[in-house]
Amino acid sequence: MRTMKIHSMAVFGLCLAPALAAAADEPAVPAAAPAPVAAAEPAPAAEPPPGTPAADPAGPVPAPAPVAAPAAVPADTGATEVAPASGAAPSTVVNLDVEGASAYVWRGMNLFGENQNTQAFSVFPSLTATFGGLSLGYWGAFQLSGDNKSDKVDSGVGAETDLIAKYSASLAENLTAYGMLTYWIYLAADDKAPVPAPEATPMYLEPGVGLTYSTAADLGLYLGYYRGLQEGTKPYSFLYINPSVGKTLPLSGDIALALGLSGGYKVYTNLADGAPKDYALDLTANVGATFPFSDMYVTPGIHAAFVTRDIDGSEFADEFIAWAGVHVGYNLGI
C-alpha cells in the first residue's frame, strides 16, 4: 500500500527549493496508518486539489474552474478559482489530463518506489467535468517501471482508481469554501498473493472540507478523514490536517510560474496498540509552469517532499524524495 500511505503536496517544505520551501492532494507507495507494511499497505491518492494541476504533484485533480480559451494559468494550490482568460466562461468544462512523473508521492509517502527515495515512472490519467461549483471526476495511478510493479498491484497500492466529487462556493471576497468526497478502490488487488492486499478489493473513502483565501498569496486549509471501509483497511484510517500556501508569478503572456508549499499531519485513529505512527508529518514543495495552447496546456513541474518516520535507525534518505513530472491536458467548454 503506499509505504504506509497512511497505512500526492511534496518535500519538506515541499522541497522549498523547488516549490518555495500544493496538490495537491494527490498519487503512491503502500503507506498505511499502521506501521509501514512494505508493499502491502493500501493507501489512496493525495486529496484532490481543486483546479487544473500546476505546481501540484500527482494526486486526484478535479477539473479547473471554467475558463474561456486560452486556458488560464491554474492556481498554485488549487484553492483559488482561475479567472476567465477572455470572453464569457462556459457553464460546463470537461477536462482531460494525463501526467507522467518519475514517482508517485502522496502526502509525503513514495507509494510506488521500493524505498522512499527511489524513482518509479508512473502515469496518472484523469477526466473531470465541472458544472459551476460542482465537479465530478476520475483519477488513476499506474506504475510503468520497477521490479515491484506486480507486488504493488497485488498488495492494493498499484492500479489505483479514484472517484471524486467536489463542490465549492464563495463565502466572501477572496474567500472560498469547498467540500469533497474521494473514493479509492483497487480492483486488481489480490489478498492471496505473496505480498497480499488487506482485502480482496481494498476500498477507502475520504470526506473533506477546506477553505482558501486569496491575498498576496493563496492560503489554504484542508481537513479530511481517510477511512478504510473494510476490516482489513480500517487500520490505515487517519484524520489529515493540511495547510498550504501558494504564489503565482507572471512570466510572459499567459505563462506563469506557480510555487506551492504545504504541510500535513496525520492523526491515526485505528492503529493497534504499540503500532508506530509512521509518516505522521509531511512537508511538500512544488514548482510548476503552465504553457497554454488555446484549450490545451502543458505543465512541467518539480517537487520535493519530506516525511517523518517512526522506525529505528531511519536516515534522511528514508524521509526525503525529489521528483519531476509533466501534465498534458485539454479543456473543453460546453
Q: How far apart are CA 328 and CA 4, in angstroms?
A: 29
- What was the pLDDT predicted at 69? 30
Q: How far apart are CA 331 and CA 64, in angstroms?
A: 8
DSSP one-letter code for 195: S
Return the C-alpha cell found at 307.
516525511
Return the C-alpha cell found at 19.
516549490
Q: Is the pLDDT of residue 42 over 50?
A: no
Please, which residues bridge with residue 139 across strands? 126, 162
CATH superfamily of 4-333: monomeric porin ompg (2.40.160.40)
pLDDT grade, residue 217 (50/70/90)?
very high
* 261 contacts 281 by C-beta, under 8 angstroms: no
Considering only CA atoms, which of 280, 282, 276, 288 is closest in space to residue 320?
282
Task: Classify strands 320-333 and 218-228 as parallel, antiparallel or unpaired.
Answer: unpaired
Residue 145: C-alpha distances to residues 23, 52, 208 (Å): 23, 26, 32
Look over the chain and give the mean of its residue pLDDT values, rounded to a whole number. Answer: 79
Q: What is the pLDDT of residues 93-142, one digit of tens each?
A: 999 999 999 999 999 999 999 999 999 999 999 999 999 999 999 999 99
Q: What is the pLDDT of residues 231-260, one digit of tens each?
A: 999 999 999 999 999 999 988 888 989 999
Residue 50: C-alpha distances to residues 76, 166, 308 (Å): 10, 8, 26
Q: What is the pLDDT of residues 260-312, one digit of tens each?
A: 999 999 999 999 888 889 999 999 999 999 999 989 999 999 999 999 998 88
H or E segment and range at residue 152: helix 149-154
Domain boundaries, the chain: 4-333
Q: Is the pLDDT of residue 18 over 90?
A: no
Contacts of 10 (CB under 8 A, 6+ apart): 19, 57, 105, 108, 262, 284, 285, 286, 303, 304, 305, 321, 323
DSSP one-letter code for 50: S
Considering only CA atoms, which of 320, 62, 310, 9 is closest in space to residue 180?
62
Q: How far apart are CA 314 and CA 284, in angstroms?
A: 19
Q: Percent of the chain scored above 70 by pLDDT?
A: 73
Q: Report the range of poorest mean pLDDT among 44-58, 145-159, 198-212.
A: 44-58
What pTM, to 2 d.p., does this model score? Answer: 0.76
pLDDT grade, residue 77 (50/70/90)?
very low
* 92 contacts 64 by C-beta, under 8 angstroms: no
* 154 contacts 195 by C-beta, under 8 angstroms: yes
DSSP letter for each residue of 48-89 = --SSS-SS--SS--PPPPP-PSSPPPPPSSS-SPPPPSSSPP
SS3 call for 149: helix
Is the sign of the CA dihedral 36, 40, 44, 45 positive or negative? positive
Q: How far apart are CA 292 and CA 29, in angstroms?
A: 32
Q: Is the pLDDT of residue 76 over 70?
A: no
- What was the pLDDT predicted at 109? 95
